[in-house]
Chains A and B, each alone.
Chain A
Amino acid sequence: MNLFVLYLLLLKASVTSFSGLGSLPMVRNDFVVERHLMTDHQLNTAVVAGRTGPGPYGLYLVCVAYLVAGVPGAIAGFLALVTPAFLVIPLMRWIGARAEIPRIRSAIRGLLLASAGLLLSSSVPLTQDAVTGVFAAVLVVTSFLVLTFTRMDSAWLMLGAAVAGLATYFVV
């Protein structure tokens, strides 16, 4: 497949979504249904790979592009993923210059509070999924307390949690 076409297809999916996995319906339509470039199973694997590692969930686009056209495809997918992010610069200049206007400040505050509510709705199922027993519940609470009330680096916390997970596997 032509790399530029691949880039444009993924850019279309990326630029018309507002969250990491928001582009999934369009990607499925273009790559699985219309062009038969991959199967649903391959698409699912790409999504899981994007979600399991560090970084944004939208990284699954790079995996999709890799499946279609190898490493050059992955580079095209990467570029399609990061291109729309730069739209925030003119947006920030325009809003930032008006951030002291009380109404604009209040609108930003409203947006922020709505985002916190959305994050809350994502956190509840994730917490339910994560709390598989007393030990996991203790890890959740410890993680919250450490990050909220100390200055410990989150990388150490992640490492400690992985070691704790391993310890439970070998001990229990």
Chain B
Amino acid sequence: MAGVFFRVGNTTFGGGYVTMGMLGRELVDTRRWLTRENFDLAFALCRVTPGTNLLAFCVAVGALICGLAGAIAAVMALTIPSAAVAVLFMQGFESFQGNRIAMAAIGGTVAAVAGMMWSTIWTILRPHVGGLTRNIQVILIAGGAFLASWKYHITPLPIIIAGTLIGFLWKDSKKS
């Protein structure tokens, strides 16, 4: 399991959401170590855990698969190599930024990351679509969160709280 977190976490650029999406793809769809419901639970709870969401996600998923040892292994395997890379990158930042060949390679990966983000959105929303009421919920909550953040620049925490409250009050009788 640590090998999966090491490989996916240290080859996926673009921040926490993309990495969580790629981990979900590997752990839920490919290896079936985790159910979609448990993935959703970990994904949801890491948003309300203080600190970096991705690390809370690793702890949650690692704990679900292999207990506390799994949580520690997951977070260490994902973070230690990329932390070392970040420190090394910072040391050589000025010369690296001026290297056009390196920047061309990074440009390619940035485009791939954009595609990864849309794939992650699709993966999250797909199980929640279907039926008029559920579709309205998706449009209202996901669309409302998008507008609140994109147009009105509201910070994530109140949006997350509002989404949770709407979900709590608007009970969904069907299981995802």
B70 CB to closest chain A CB (Å) equals 11
Contact A102:B172 (CB < 8 A) given known A54-B12, A85-B56, A107-B164: yes
Chain B residues, Cβ within 8 Å of A157: 112, 116
Chain A residues, Cβ within 8 Å of B83: 55, 59, 62, 74, 78, 81
Q: Which of A42-60 contact B (CB under 8 A)?
A: 45-46, 48-60
- Cα–Cα distance between A111 and B157 once the two chains are bound (Å): 11
Contact A129:B157 (CB < 8 A) given known A56-B52, A59-B79, A154-B12: no
A13 CB to closest chain B CB (Å) equals 10
Chain B residues, Cβ within 8 Å of A121: 145-146, 149-150
Contact A87:B49 (CB < 8 A) given known A116-B124, A119-B120, A151-B29: yes
> Please, how many residues of chain B have a CB less than 8 angstroms from a CB on the other chain?
110
Question: Which of B12, B46, B128 is the one whose CB lies under 8 Å from A88?
Answer: B46
Interface SS of B by simple majority: helix
The residue in chain B whose Cβ has the minimal distance to the Cβ of A65 is B87
Contact A127:B145 (CB < 8 A) given known A113-B138, A114-B159: no
Question: Which of A54, A88, A95, A127 is the one whose CB lies under 8 Å from B114?
Answer: A127
A162 touches B108 (CB 8 A): yes
Contact A112:B43 (CB < 8 A) given known A85-B49, A117-B142, A127-B117: yes
The residue in chain A whose Cβ has the minimal distance to the Cβ of B166 is A110
- Cα–Cα distance between A42 and B41 once the two chains are bound (Å): 38
Chain A residues, Cβ within 8 Å of B73: none
Binding site for B on A (CB under 8 A): 14-20, 22, 45-46, 48-60, 62-63, 66-67, 74, 78, 81-89, 91-92, 95-96, 99, 102-124, 126-127, 129-132, 136-137, 139-148, 151, 153-155, 157-166, 168-169
Binding site for A on B (CB under 8 A): 7-17, 19, 22, 25-26, 29-30, 37, 40-60, 63-64, 68, 71, 75, 78-83, 85-87, 89-90, 93, 100-101, 104-125, 128, 137-138, 141-150, 156-157, 159-160, 162-168, 170-173, 175-176
